[in-house]
Amino acid sequence: MQLIDIGVNLTNPCFADKHQAVLDRAYAAGVCQLVLTGTSVEGSEQALELCRQLDETAQRLFATAGIHPHSASDWNADSDRQLRSLLKEPNVVAVGECGLDFNRDFSPRPQQEKVLEEHLAMAVELQMPVFLHERDASQRLLEILRDYRDQLPAAVVHCFTGEKKALFSYLDLDLHIGITGWICDERRGTHLHPLVKEIKRGRLMLESDAPYLLPRSLRPKPKNGRNEPAYLTEVLREVALHRGESEEELAAHSTACARAFYGLPTVD
């Protein structure tokens, strides 16, 4: 089986000096390609540099470039120029992480909306897919996306944790859905169990969001409590269970979906 992790925060400080070991464990587990998430201009630059340093073949590691809604207040006159420059790099395969977070409101909501629209405009101009973040903001995100959707090649709501109404609304807009270890959390993720089978093939992708969201069903658990891309197999197991598919079936179609979404090469 081959898996693609569509969202891993490999630039997180907890992975410092451990990058190659983390990747080696991922490859050994069948995670053949990874997309490193950019959440700020600096973080996007770091993600790109990791791709260059750790993947000389340019076949396994890729990155996104964007500004997370938590950091929307950091947007300035140079942000557009800097992100556009990054998005022209061959290893950078999507605009984002961008979106709306009305749960924590670390940046004012009007600023979050402005910065999201800046990202969407770039994606339309450059004809690149978008990696979206949403928390407690599905209705507003949908309202903004509708003005751009016909011109966007593709967009994924990453780490989907919402309810049925939000999921169906995203699918009605022909968006992709990313599922993480949230579905493995017996305290807050069980509502996803009946929902994942509603996501048709060709719209479902898997992600670790490491080092966050360690699957709580994982046995044995790592002593450091840190999630890694190698544990994507646990997300695969849980999603396959609730879709009524074999792990091999789910791996095949979710990997094909991710490869098509990001335009990634095939690997042996």
pLDDT tens digits along 188-245: 999 999 999 999 999 999 999 999 999 999 999 999 999 999 999 999 999 999 999 9
Per DSSP, helices labelled H in 29-177 are 41-54, 79-87, 109-126, 138-146, 164-172
pLDDT tens digits along 146-199: 999 999 999 999 999 999 999 999 999 999 999 999 999 999 999 999 999 999
Which residues carry a binding-site annotation for a divalent metal cation? 97, 133, 158, 209
Query: What residues does 132 pair with on adjacent strands?
Result: 98, 157
pLDDT of residue 267 exceeding 90, the answer is yes
Phi–psi pair at 99, nearest 5 degrees: 150, -145
**pLDDT, position 268:** 82
pTM for the predicted model, two decimal places: 0.97
**pLDDT, position 56:** 87
Which residues carry a binding-site annotation? 97, 133, 158, 209
**pLDDT, position 58:** 84
All domains in the chain, ordered by first residue: 3-262 (3.20.20.140)
